Amino acid sequence: MGTWNSRGLRGSTLEDLINLTNERYLESGLALIQKIPTPITPIAIDKESRHITLAYFEQKSTVDYIGVVQGIPVCFDAKECAADTFTLQNIHEHQVEFMKQFEKQGGIAFFIIYYTHKDLYYYLPYEMLNFFWERAVCGGRKSFRFEELNPEYILPKKNGIFVPYLDMLQKDLEDRE
């Protein structure tokens, strides 16, 4: 069973920006997306700050976010990457399986990757992730390079929307037709 410590806060700024984006989308009537909390059992709590310093994960988490966009079920996970190479160790097999089953039910699954060194957000459709995942399973690279990604899925900068993923969701839908 995994444990939680301060490393678990990595990516919290990215999640904060996505949460603000989701609030904007809700206010605009465009989407209802919720952050899925990871259930934990606290083991040690700092008495002065009342912060959890050690905990166990109660179960494997699936994705960070789930909801609906204009009648379309969506789920996605948010990841940060500080280099041009994204290691697939950052993604767990049960997440890939959940996304696969989600897509089989007619939903849309994807990742939002924030490339911190480039200051850009990337929308990685499940199909593209699955290509990299299967390549690794078959003995190939256990990572993918930024250069391998379709540049059309880089999220545009947009005033008022921190992580404007709905534009890329629309592109993903069009590319599936």
Q: Known binding site for Mg(2+): residues?
A: 62, 64, 77, 95
Residue closest to 164 by CA, chosen among 61, 32, 24: 24
Residue type, 25: Y
DSSP, residue by residue, 115-169 = ETTTTEEEEEEHHHHHHHHHHHHTTS-SEEEGGGS-GGGBPPPBTTBSS-THHHH
The closest of 27, 95, 108 to 67, measured between CA atoms, is 108
Binding site, residues? 62, 64, 77, 95
Distance CA 81, CA 90 (A): 9
- Which two tokens mark 72? 């379309």
Which residue type sits at 50? Answer: R
63, 67, 69, 111, 161 from 25: Cα distances, Å: 19, 12, 9, 18, 9
